[in-house]
Amino acid sequence: MVANATDKKWLLCPKPNSQAKLKLFCFPYAGGNSQTYRAWPFKLPETVEVHMVNLPGRGTRLREAPITRLAPLVDEVAEAIRPELDKPFAFFGHSMGALIAFELVHQLRKQNHVNPAHLIVSGRGAPHMPKTDPQTHDLPEKEFIEELRRLNGTPTEALEHPELMQLMLPILRADFAICETYVYEDRPLLDCPIAALGGVDDTDVTREKIAGWRERTTGSFTMRMFPGDHFYLHSAQPSLLETITVLLR
């Protein structure tokens, strides 16, 4: 299948493989980009073709304004991803990416009557659980940067580089707004398998919040906690990829 211009903008596939049995679409966390998953195509089995979702405002789309609400973002991703759903597929999303992936599954099921072979959510509490964190996306700049420092997801070199932060802040604020303004809508449960993953030292996304994903599907449920904090997907990458390999087998 030849990707159209929209697909090329939204979806990056570093290692195309027409013989793959399954496509894995990977969604970034707040402030992250598709390059989070750049090594995955070369570390997962040949049976899996990895597609990295490329959001506006970052990477090759740096000149585009980031999207600040989840619904329009999901609409655009759904439009780009539909032509690629020509074989079994799975979604992996970390933090904000888990939320995007979850809502996208609902949308594709409703509009196209298709389901992923697996929904793998990471570093995000179940969407129906009460929000306990204060809104931070509209904090004054100094306080917002301190919150970024606390979350430990932005490199210290970036936090201490004013020019770089001026480029990153609009993206981070937009992504935080996506998460903080999201309102869960009660709908019929999904029926695809869900795997919910987290870091044992993640003080914001606890084991209990991860376990809540069990309530979002009538299909099978798997839960796995890894050594590390909210960004365990970097520090525990080998174990994570091994787990994903088993889930997708």
What amino acid occupies position 188?
Answer: P
List pLDDT tens digits, range 148-166.
Answer: 777 766 766 666 677 777 7
Q: What is the pLDDT of residue 164?
A: 72
Choose, from 95, 122, 220, 235, the residue flagged as catalytic.
95
Cβ atoms of residues 25 and 51 within 8 Å: yes
pLDDT given at position 155: 67
Q: Give the mean model confidence (pLDDT) for residues 84-91.
A: 96
Helix (H) / strand (E) containing 110: helix 96-112
Strand ranges across the sheet with 11-12: 11-12, 48-53, 22-27, 89-94, 118-122, 194-199, 221-226
Mean pLDDT for 218-236 is 96
Residue 116's pLDDT is what? 97
More confident call, 189 vs 171: 189
Using CA atoms, how far apart are residues 235 and 156, in angstroms rounded to an integer? 16
Q: How far apart are CA 228 and CA 249, in angstroms?
A: 25
Q: In the predicted model, what is the mean pLDDT of residues 190-194?
A: 97
pLDDT at position 82 over 80: yes
pLDDT band at 46 (very low <50, low <70, confident <90, very high): very high
Q: Given this model, what pLDDT does residue 1 score?
A: 34
Is 239 labeled as catalytic in the residue annotation?
no
Give the span between the Cα atoms of 234 and 196, in whole angstroms: 17
CATH class of 5-29+44-127+186-248: alpha beta
pLDDT at 90 over 90: yes
Residue pair 66/171 in contact by the 8 Å Cβ criterion: yes
